[in-house]
Amino acid sequence: MRRYSQSGQCGCVNLHACGSFNRHGLAGDGGLVDSRRARDDGAVAGDDERRRVGSVLLGLLAVPLTKKRTPLLRSGLNAILVLGFALVLVTVDLFGDMGFAVAEGPDVESDFYNFTALNFPEGHPAREMHDTFYFNPGADGTRKLLRTHTSPVQIRTMLKGPPPIRIVSPGRVYRRDTSDATHSANFHQLECLYVDRNVTVRDLKALLDYVFASLLGKDTKTRFRPHYFGYTEPSFEVDLSARHLSKVNKEWIEIGGCGMVDPTVFAAVGY
């Protein structure tokens, strides 16, 4: 798989969310997914192995949230991170098979890449000190910050050249959250961006259905719920249903967010 590094260190990876695909992305007839399915029969064995590994890892990740623990996970958070790391590598490999390159960016970002170019206006709550880790102002009065999401990689990639673009960007992110079962001040995201012509929400849904079915089995389902993200329009939360996995005991689990890139973001990068 091609790997692009963008002026800075790369974070460790874990699965948090699969981010925004845009309205110029997937071919209108679902060609990206179809081309993946049309590859030679030798790829089927790899898909089966990926699905088996994904199912096992997701099941193990669910264990620490219950009262019972297996010996493998008695070490707590470190074991969760190791399992998550393995799961995201399997996911990145899957996107690589569909032609996505890995793109990485720095953990320390500027306001422009982290907020302004992504349509976060002045006064947005995410810009406040109680949500974001800021460094002391530099000699020019500007302040660096620890990135709150991997979306700045989208901006850096688009500023490097015109479409088409097809990237997956895993990385570490930071927020001023109190740690509990569903929050952490340091976690990881997996985000994808596809910029091209003739994409629809239908294609986005088809791609995510294919990704999760490849990871967790054909009985896995996804659904979209309307949501708001400043850098996508329309925007959706993505829920996952995998009742065929013994460790997943809920009908629907929120797994991430997605949407079509907002025209304001394209304007910020000159598209």
pLDDT score at 167:
92
Report the distance separating Cα 123 and Cα 103, nearest Å: 30
Read off φ and ψ for residue 23, nearest 5 degrees. Answer: -75, -5
Lowest mean per-residue pLDDT among 1-10, 62-71, 229-238: 1-10
Q: Which residue has the higher pLDDT, 82 or 156?
A: 156
Read off φ and ψ for residue 244, nearest 5 degrees. Answer: -75, -10
- Between strands 101-104 and 165-174, the pairing is parallel
pLDDT score at 244:
79
pLDDT score at 147:
95
This prediction's pTM: 0.71
For the chain, give the mean pLDDT: 74
pLDDT score at 86:
62
Residue 246 has pLDDT above 80, yes or no: no
Q: Which residue has the higher pLDDT, 82 or 25?
A: 82
Bond into 121 cis (ω within 30):
no
Kind and range of the H or E element at 258?
strand 253-261
Q: Which residue has the higher pLDDT, 82 or 101?
A: 101
For 57-68, the pLDDT digits (tens) are 455 444 444 444
First-last CA distance in the chain: 26
pLDDT score at 46:
53
Q: Which residue has the higher pLDDT, 67 or 124?
A: 124
For 179-216, the pLDDT digits (tens) are 777 777 888 888 899 888 887 888 889 888 988 888 88
pLDDT score at 155:
96
Report the distance separating Cα 152 and Cα 160, nearest Å: 13
Report the distance separating Cα 33 and Cα 196, nearest Å: 15
Read off φ and ψ for residue 144, nearest 5 degrees. Answer: -85, 165
Lowest mean per-residue pLDDT among 9-13, 23-27, 96-100, 223-227: 9-13
Residues 18, 208: contact at Cβ < 8 Å? yes
Specify the residue for token string 């393995």: 86
Kind and range of the H or E element at 169?
strand 165-174
Exposed / middle / buried, residue 139 (Cβ in 10 Å: 0-12, 13-18, 19+): exposed
Percent of the chain with pLDDT over 90: 30
Specify the residue for token string 């979209």: 224
Query: Could you give the angle at the alpha carbon of 208 between the alpha carbons of 206 and 210, nearest 5°?
Result: 70
What's the pLDDT band for 1 if we cut at 50, 70, 90?
very low
pLDDT score at 47:
57
